[in-house]
Amino acid sequence: MAPSTFSKRRADAVALELDVGLDVGICHACLCFVTFALDDTPAALSGQVRRMTPILWAEGLEAPALAAARRACERGVRDAQPALADLEQHGGRSATARAIVRRLAAELARRTRMEMHLEATRRDRPSAAQPYLN
């Protein structure tokens, strides 16, 4: 299989427009490898994205990503047609699939930070416990 010729910049832009969310059934534990790499070097992030995208693709990302790209084509999203061709031709090794995984990893990181913040806020509040009855 030849490498993808769809640029990272264009793939990232299209990935923002695709309606693929964290609820598509992919393994969040697998996605965490990419999420953790977001705070690492660009090379480390790239390595994790290249390593994990084919796994996530095979384990459930393929159908929702292709469907989202087809819907984007119908909506006339810029570069959706070449993104769809990239996905169809290169699958989990495509620039578009990697862009989707990067976006989902960032979304998972935001969601996790928000949940941790809410949990910490909840713990810091005094409880509304019932007074002791003697």
Give the count of domains, the chain. Answer: 1
Query: Residue 127 domain-assigned?
Result: no
Confidence check: pLDDT of 128 > 90: no
Whether 84 maps to a domain, the answer reads yes
Residue 130 lies in a domain: no
Which of 96-100, 110-114, 121-125, 128-132 comes out lowest in average pLDDT? Answer: 128-132
Is 131 part of a structural domain of the chain?
no
Q: What is the pLDDT of residues 20-75, one digit of tens each?
A: 999 998 999 999 999 999 999 999 999 999 999 999 999 999 999 999 999 999 99
Is residue 132 a part of any domain in this protein? Answer: no
Per-residue pLDDT at 1 exceeds 60: no
In-domain check, residue 88: yes
Weakest-pLDDT range from 94-98, 120-124, 127-131: 127-131
- Range of the structural domain that residue 17 is part of: 8-122
> How distant, in Å, are the alpha carbons of 43, 53, 131 from that of 46?
5, 10, 55
Instruction: Let me know if residue 52 belongs to a domain.
Output: yes
Q: Can you give the pLDDT at residue 126?
A: 62
Residue 71 lies inside a defined structural domain of this protein = yes
- Plot region of 91 (φ>0 → left; ψ -120 to 50 → alpha; else → beta): left
Dihedral angle over CA of 19, 71, 102, 22, nearest 10: 30
Q: What share of the chain is helix, strand, coil (3-state, %, to 5)?
A: 75, 0, 25
Predicted local distance difference test score (pLDDT) of residue 124: 64
Mean pLDDT of 111-115: 86
